[in-house]
DNA sequence: TGTTTAACCTTGTATATACAAGGTAGGCTA
DNA sequence: TAGCCTACCTTGTATATACAAGGTTAAACA
């Protein structure tokens, strides 16, 4: 068999959508119709449809039918990768310098982000991630001490905070905000950039089963760092 | 039945991964083992595994077994939404002002992005998208005239370029780059911002079956615009 | 005429079965 | 001992079947 039958059916449907023959919200053949068209069992036709639904190409409603899904083009996905992996994947040298590692009192913003009270103790770390020796990211991180009591005892030259946290408190969710900012003087020093250089800031909150684990502020020089998307559709 | 059997099996596996009982690369029970555990048919056990593989929780290799997938935490997804929808979803007033709509000669950068020769004609449009009357995005767009010959005849106050292009040349892929930049003087005027305000720039290339359809440069004031992620992990 | 009902479509869940295909490990042979 | 080969595990594809559940429509009834 050149290609699995369910894959042929998927191709058949996808090509018709790609050419525009079947438009958004058009009805696609039912499982039984596909069964006749391709001379296969209902389970095989069903598999093709199910997989296309899973990938967002189709939508179905029990008792009604299966339809071409609305354009996903309206939103596409950007990937935020682990900085160390990204640098290594480029074949460049990666190094990290820990600048701070201590306990502080939660400010209002940090307390809100972590779901704690203002003034509660939180663990705080600052690291500079470098590519070929040049700063590419300043990672400022606030950690919930209740969930990660041994955070301050770690050596983040050996294992990034992200790796450590993942091991200690398996994360179940993460939320990000990306924006453009101007660096403060301190950040300018740490990133070795001019006052005129804009920066890309990623705010990242991570959850485990027990609650908010950490709140991180990742700042990149705009001239050196780009977020790139993988793909959409299909 | 309180819950479908395959859903119970999925829950069983997910909870064991969440608690950390099963770690990355650990082997999960085979289809036959699950069949015995849950007193169900192999197809039902298989469905649970298949769906968890689809959602990225598990990985499987024919002839070997099924394993807990590597942390997805390493990369998470950001959503780039249609600007008009985003503003409307916030319940705010949306308006758009077309500034340019003409044919120009492709510069080197544009020719590269569109897969054309330098100096070839390309269609060019500039629009300003406003939220409550304030500029939120400048959309500069270069369009391949071979694929979209009637681009210049459109009225983009009625339909956004993106909507028109989606209808004319169903898109099959899109790639994005996000970075922080300082606005040029012209952009400062168009966005009504100060020279000191950093901007978030999204470069977007879209493909249809026939090739690259358009290349867009979307610039937002950093103080007013944030990209926000939905969620991670399945 | 208006409402209820039943027939018929759709998708959803579940089982039993068969064979194909890929990988591993242990035993057999040279 | 070294290499091959078979038996046995795994996942992958495909079929036939049964009944459940949700929605539409048209016919039957009041």
Please give the distance of CA A100 from its chain centroid, rounded to a whole number: 26
Q: For residues A222 and A140, what is the distance between their CA atoms, to the nearest angstrom? A: 17
| CB of B175 less than 8 A from some CB of A | yes
| DSSP code at position A91 | T
Q: For residues A127 and A51, what is the distance between their CA atoms, to the nearest angstrom? A: 43
Question: Which residues surround strand C, with CB < 7 Å?
Answer: A 30-33, 43, 46, 49-50, 60-66; B 1, 4-7, 39-44, 61-64
Q: For residues B148 and B121, what is the distance between their CA atoms, to the nearest angstrom? A: 12
Bridge partner list, A139: A127, A218
Q: For residues A86 and A131, what is the distance between their CA atoms, to the nearest angstrom? A: 10
Phi, psi of A108 (to 5 degrees): -60, -45
Bridge partner list, A229: A78
* pLDDT tens per residue across all 234 residues of chain A: 568 899 999 999 999 987 878 988 899 999 999 999 999 999 999 999 999 999 888 999 999 999 998 765 445 666 677 888 888 888 888 999 999 999 999 999 999 999 999 999 999 999 999 998 889 999 999 999 999 999 999 999 988 898 898 878 877 778 888 889 999 999 999 999 988 899 999 899 988 878 899 999 999 998 777 777 655 443
Residues in chain B: 234
- Could you tell me the fold of the domain covering B5-74? Arc Repressor Mutant, subunit A (1.10.10)
Residue ranges per structural domain of chain B: 5-74, 83-221
Q: Check: CATH 3.40.1410.10 for B83-221?
A: yes
Which nucleotides on strand C sit less than 7 A from a protein beta carbon?
9-18, 21-24
| CB of A195 less than 8 A from some CB of B | no
pLDDT digits (tens, 9 = 90+) for B4-27: 899 999 999 999 987 878 988 899
Q: For residues B46 and A47, what is the distance between their CA atoms, to the nearest angstrom? A: 13
Q: How many CB atoms lie within 10 A of CB A130?
A: 19
CATH of domain A5-73: 1.10.10.10
Beta-sheet pairing, B75-81 with A121-131: unpaired
| DSSP code at position A73 | G
Chain B residues lying within 8 Å of A51, measured CB to CB:
54
């Amino acid at each position: 068999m050149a290609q699995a039958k369910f894959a042929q059916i998927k191709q058949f449907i996808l090509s018709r959508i790609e050419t525009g023959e079947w438009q958004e919200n058009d009805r696609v053949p039912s499982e039984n119709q596909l069964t006749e068209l391709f001379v296969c069992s209902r389970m095989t036709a069903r598999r093709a449809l199910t997989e296309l639904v899973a990938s967002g190409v189709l939508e179905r409603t029990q008792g009604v039918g299966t339809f071409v899904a609305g354009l996903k083009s309206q939103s596409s996905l950007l990937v935020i990768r682990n900085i160390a992996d990204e640098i290594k994947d480029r074949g460049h040298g990666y190094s990290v310098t820990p600048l701070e590692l201590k306990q502080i009192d939660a400010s209002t913003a940090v307390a809100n982000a972590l779901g704690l009270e203002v003034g509660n103790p939180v663990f705080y770390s600052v690291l500079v991630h470098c590519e070929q020796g040049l700063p590419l990211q300043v990672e400022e991180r606030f950690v919930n001490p209740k969930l990660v009591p041994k955070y301050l005892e770690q050596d983040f030259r050996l294992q990034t905070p992200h790796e450590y946290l993942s091991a200690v408190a398996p994360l179940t969710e993460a939320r990000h905000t990306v924006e453009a900012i101007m660096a403060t003087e301190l950040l300018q020093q740490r990133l070795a950039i001019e006052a005129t250089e804009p920066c890309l800031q990623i705010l990242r909150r991570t959850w485990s089963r027990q609650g908010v684990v950490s709140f991180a502020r990742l700042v990149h020089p705009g001239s050196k760092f780009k977020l790139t998307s993988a793909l959409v559709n299909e």
